[in-house]
Amino acid sequence: MRKWIYRPTVEGKASRQAHADLPEGTVERELGKEGFFGPSTQMIHPRPPTGWTSWEGPLRPRAFDLARLGAVAALPWAARTVLHNAHLRLRHWVCPSSMDRLARNADGDELLFLHAGSAELYCDYGHLTLATGDYVVLPRGTMWRIECERPTVWLLLEATNGSYQLPDKGLVGEQAIFDPAMLDYPRIDDAFRAQQQAGAPESREWRVEIKRRERISTVTYPYNPLDALGWHGTLMPVRINVRDLRPLMSHRYHLPPSAHTTFVAQRFVVCTFAPRPFETDPGAIKVPFFHNNDDFDEAIFYHAGDFFSRDNIHPGMLTLHPCGFTHGPHPKALNNMLTPKKLVTDEYAVMIDARDALEVGDDMPAVEWTDYHRSWRTD
């Protein structure tokens, strides 16, 4: 048995309620353990704690425009690696056309996020029609391929040697954020049965590319191995769209990103920011509070909309805030801390909080906004 050292204290000039009723002319900085899941302290400062004038060393916040990567790949295993560590591998995949063979990940569960386009997914379990904004969880070892009439753009999030699960929703109940009944699953429908008779373009043979320890093995079948007649059980791919999510809200209190957790893995979590009303209580802050990254590296992929807490960020970009420094809203957003310009947010974004340090892929410096760390400056 173990327990956090816990002794609630109010010292000096402070607000007794976190994220609300700050002393006039001050800003709040949160120091916490386990991301936003553990004990925390809210520090009060007379000026934003992001007011640095220079930055040296590798810890600086970074931003990448993945839309500029450009390269296409016929198969997911040739997609560009964006970030990685021993427990997570994030790839950016531009798929130009339908796959002529199957993919199978033996390294861990795969989470597909369809950033642009539409596609038909065929896998061991059946067929799913996919649209922009879809998440698809593919259990480790699932054979799959996509068909698309036009290029599609994806994020591939591998839970290396791990699995995806649903977060514990605690007091708000299992149906909060999204009801598990909203999770769609592949069907053995007419489209799936029809594809069983279709061979690869050049022959009746089907190849399966299996990735294990970042090496590829190819298995060839004289028939289409997606030939299931039926199945029953509790292990299956599932799909949900970001527009199906119903964010938790509080009109009197700004909720931390952990309230928007969509999937959890062994050493990281995936959260989704979706449109929601701003807080209406006059004393509640309406923008993300400044906070320390002391246990997690944070990466955010900006999918669609107007990203109110960031300047000069557009859809298709990704930011990385490594563990070890304070960050928060940019100066323009901070001006709206108590009085927002809109009634609701207008953004969709995918956030990954990784417990272990993330390495940047070899191709990323070519598409980096190198002055991103200067974007908090007011001069």
Catalytic residue annotation: 254
What type of residue sits at position 4?
A: W
Q: Which residue intervals of the chain are DSSP H helices? A: 190-195, 331-334
Angstrom distance (rounded) from CA 334 to CA 308? 10
Asked if residue 327 belongs to a known ligand binding site, the reply is yes
Contact assessment for residue 224 and residue 206, using Cβ atoms and an 8 Å cutoff = yes
What type of residue sits at position 217?
A: S
Neighbours of 345 (CB within 10 A): 20
Asked if residue 297 belongs to a known ligand binding site, the reply is yes
Asked if residue 291 belongs to a known ligand binding site, the reply is yes
Both structure tokens of 50: 């992001």
Write the CB contacts of 33 (distance below 8 Å, at least 6 apart in sequence). 4, 39, 40, 294, 295
DSSP 204-253: S-EEEEEEETTEEEEEEESS-S-------SS---EEEEGGG-B----TTS
Contact assessment for residue 269 and residue 298, using Cβ atoms and an 8 Å cutoff = no
Q: Residues within the annotated binding site for Fe cation?
A: 291, 297, 327
Q: Residues within the annotated binding site?
A: 291, 297, 327
